[in-house]
Amino acid sequence: MIIANNKKAFFDYFIEDKFEAGIELKGSEVKSVKAGKVSIKESFIRIINDEVFIMGMSIVPWQYGSVYNPEERRVRKLLLNRKEIRKLHEKVKVKGYTIVPLDVHLSKGYVKVQIAVAKGKKNYDKRESIAKKDQERNIRRDFKNSTR
């Protein structure tokens, strides 16, 4: 079940490799995420000292929580295997590649983040993808009208 989606990532980047990572959350944050009060639109991912962190991810504090609710935009650690972290680190060393969050979802009751190694698109690539979407939309509309 997808809770939050980063649609802008598919428009701004060519997605190459995808990984699923757990998030280190506090108790009230889990309740807030399951209630759908999470946003990853402005978030990004960094590798620091062989650990992966997501920064800028917004989880609204749980309204029924105590005064000890964690900050809304704190840095959260992502849980990956050493082999996966090494693979991410090697790919990000290449110029033009970055790690972006794609979505936040539930998997067997656990909150997970799908991240991807991606290469940034140039402006002409973005124009091509817009034109392609428009063309597909027109084809679907014409097909729909022809079947009536």
Using DSSP, state whether 21 is helix, strand or coil: strand
pLDDT in tens, 20-75: 999 999 888 888 999 989 999 889 999 999 999 999 999 998 888 777 778 888 99
- pLDDT of 123 reads 79
- pLDDT of 27 reads 81
Give the span between the Cα atoms of 115 and 20, in whole angstroms: 6
Give the span between the Cα atoms of 4 and 131, in whole angstroms: 26
Compute the average pLDDT of residues 73-83. 93
Quote the percentage of the chain above a pLDDT of 70.
99
* Strand arrangement of the beta sheet that strand 44-48 belongs to: 2-5, 97-107, 110-120, 13-23, 76-79, 51-55, 44-48
- pLDDT of 29 reads 87
pLDDT in tens, 91-135: 998 888 999 999 999 999 899 999 999 988 887 777 888 888 889
pTM value? 0.80
Give the span between the Cα atoms of 83 and 113, in whole angstroms: 18
- pLDDT of 72 reads 85
Asked if pLDDT for residue 18 goes beyond 70, the answer is: yes
Give the span between the Cα atoms of 73 and 52, in whole angstroms: 16
Could you tell me how many residues make up the chain? Answer: 148
Asked if pLDDT for residue 147 goes beyond 80, the answer is: no
- pLDDT of 148 reads 67
